[in-house]
Amino acid sequence: MAGGSTLPKRALGRELRRLRERGGTSQAAAARAIEVSPQTIGRMEDGHASRPTSLQINGLCDRYGASDEERRFLLDLLEDSRTAKQSGGGWWRAYADDIPRDFNHYLGLEAAACRMTSWQITLLPGLLQTPEYRRAIIWAAHPDWPTADVERRIELAGLRQEKFRDNTFRLDVLLSEAALRHHVGGPGVMADQLLHLMEASAWPNVSLRVVPYDARSPIGLVVRSFVFLEFPVPSNTRIAEPPVAYVEGYTGDLYLERTGEIAQYTEAIRSITRVALDEQETRDLVARIAKEYQL
């Protein structure tokens, strides 16, 4: 994508829409606040505005009653959009210190997606984790966190799973067998987690397939874990957001959207799917491993 990543601008628009709707402000009222047309507000929220200014963003923050953290985050995204346009590459940002705790760019993408394909090598996807499994992961990564902060993350994970109530959403999960066998939290936690995984695999908007150890192709090991997100076509613009491949890192996250990158991940999904067990074979394998944890 020669013009650079559009993701910061799209994230900016999505957050502007969230703040406007939270306060019950119409696009027309928002437009009057910063002396632009309602169509310009719509383009900003869709991530299509060419050059929103700091003055406009601050004016909208004033109108929407944004907190200091929300205002700083929006201005950071505005700066990111300018930097991404100049760089011409994907968007990488380390969020550990920069992003407000109550907002995460990936969660915004997840909330907007109509379909997600998750390939995981070592851990189960967040949308299908039990609280005990998630808690074990958090304590491993952040052993010094206060209990209240850990439980807040657990609560957030539970809220994310409300996504499955949307019958227009679909989750396709591809798992390495290794992800089923890593002892996260101990045998009891893993047994309960795998039983939940089997239950989720029967939901109408979830597909679960496992790539066994003896799979013919190692392409999944080469690609490593990722989430591929696809988005619906907005009714107001009829312009679909391009897909995004999300790769989580220990100190930062990578968001890929260039045409060539998307084509590579699309092919990777096809290649991994070809060597995965079918859904019934997957359920049989998960059930066997769950019984091993229960022994």
- pLDDT at position 236 is 58
Among 72-76, 93-97, 197-201, 251-255, the least confident range: 93-97
Local confidence band at 218 (pLDDT 50, 70, 90 cut-offs): confident
94 pLDDT more than 50: no
In terms of average pLDDT, the best of 5-9, 146-150, 217-221 is: 146-150
pLDDT beyond 90 at 58:
yes
Predicted confidence at residue 7, as pLDDT, reads 75
pLDDT digits (tens, 9 = 90+) for 6-39: 777 888 888 898 899 998 999 999 999 999 999 9
Return mean pLDDT, the chain. 86
**Residue with more model confidence, 41 or 249:** 41
Whole-prediction pTM: 0.77
- Strand ranges in 86-180 using DSSP code E only, listed in sequence order: 91-93, 115-120, 170-176
pLDDT value of position 96: 33
**Residue 100 reports pLDDT greater than 60:** no
Domains of the chain and CATH, by start: 7-87 (1.10.260.40), 105-294 (3.30.870)
How confident is the model at residue 50, as a pLDDT? 64
More confident residue, 175 or 153: 175
